[in-house]
Amino acid sequence: MTPPCVASDETAAETRHDCEKLFSVMQSEKHPATVAKMFDSVAPRYEIITDLISLGQDRRWRRAATAALQATPGDVVLDVAAGTGASSAVLARTGAKICAVDISPGMVAIGRHDHPDINFVVGDAQSLPFADETFDAVTVSFGLRNMPDPQRVLTELARVTKPGGRLVICELSTPPWPVLQFAHHIWMGHVMPVIARLSTNPASYHYLTESIVDWPGPLVIARWMADAGWRRISFRRLTGGIVTLHWGNR
């Protein structure tokens, strides 16, 4: 599938070339180093662009994920694909001890600067640098779809979670209803590319748009979770299905 690169000015050909090149590399390989490099390139303006693209709804979605995780004071929580720490900061308000992991050194550097009270670690979610049954709860927001092997990540998350511990995934998705699908398509295909031009690497956002389109539905994610050892699995759509919350217990 060709990435939906939309540009109306003289830069259209160059933008399309950059987008298709990045999309090809990411889809064919998705090496951790490639993923890290992409997010390094967008780190400086990542939170600003995220706020603009989501119209500020990302804050509501992060609060919903935190509530679903049910963390309590003293819990040790792993936040995977933590980026610059937006989700980790919300989680920290519960009184839990947060360990934020991201594969992008650029993201982690900003996170450490902005949230000095949170422990940030550069790490690959496919091979986490933690012992078995370390965490009371684990979570990943807006990152699982960018993992080279999301099923392997779910298994790795189960490994480091204590028996009875909880997993919450907050992920962008495609609305299931036709009217919302149409509006979602217009937003991603025509509005997001314009906003992405404010980024330090606009081409990366074209890839991220396509990753949402290609991401499977919640029943597939539930099956992946079950195969990885998670139980009592459920999900809930937010904002008309633009985002889906998934959760389960170890």
Q: Domains in the chain, start-ordered, CATH in brackets?
A: 12-249 (3.40.50.150)
User: For the chain, how long is the longest CA-to-CA vector?
Assistant: 57
Of 197 and 159, which is predicted with more confidence? 159
Decide if pLDDT at 19 tops 50.
no
> Smallest Cα–Cα separation from 154: which of 229, 234, 247, 220?
229
Decide if pLDDT at 2 tops 70.
no
Quickly tell me which residue has 């709860």 as its tokens.
Answer: 137
> Smallest Cα–Cα separation from 205: which of 75, 52, 84?
52
The mean pLDDT of 161-186, rounded to a whole number, is 90
Decide if pLDDT at 197 tops 90.
no
Tell me phi and psi for residue 75, to 5 degrees: -65, 150
Alpha-carbon distance of 141 to 171, in angstroms, equals 6
Q: Could you give the 3-state DSSP secondary structure of residue 250? A: coil
Start-end of H helices in 43-166: 46-54, 57-69, 86-92, 105-114, 150-160
Q: How confident is the model at residue 192 (pLDDT cuts 50, 70, 90)?
A: confident
pLDDT of residue 234: 97
Of 59 and 23, which is predicted with more confidence? 59
Average pLDDT, whole number, for the chain?
84
Of 172 and 97, which is predicted with more confidence? 97
Strand ordering across the sheet containing 231-238 = 119-122, 97-102, 76-80, 135-141, 161-172, 243-249, 231-238
Decide if pLDDT at 142 tops 60.
yes
Q: How confident is the model at residue 210 (pLDDT cuts 50, 70, 90)?
A: confident
Q: How confident is the model at residue 98 (pLDDT cuts 50, 70, 90)?
A: very high
| Amino acid letter for position 126 | Q
Structure-block tokens of residue 18: 């950059």
> Smallest Cα–Cα separation from 229: which of 138, 145, 147?
138
Q: Could you give the 3-state DSSP secondary structure of residue 229? A: coil
pLDDT of residue 174: 87
Strand partners, 170: 141, 245
Alpha carbon of residue 124 to chain centroid: 14
The mean pLDDT of 37-47, rounded to a whole number, is 69
| Amino acid letter for position 220 | V
CB of 95 closer than 8 Å to CB of 72:
yes
The mean pLDDT of 112-136, rounded to a whole number, is 97
Q: How confident is the model at residue 10 (pLDDT cuts 50, 70, 90)?
A: very low
Alpha-carbon distance of 99 to 96, in angstroms, equals 10
Which range, 47-56, 92-101, 196-205, is most confident? Answer: 92-101
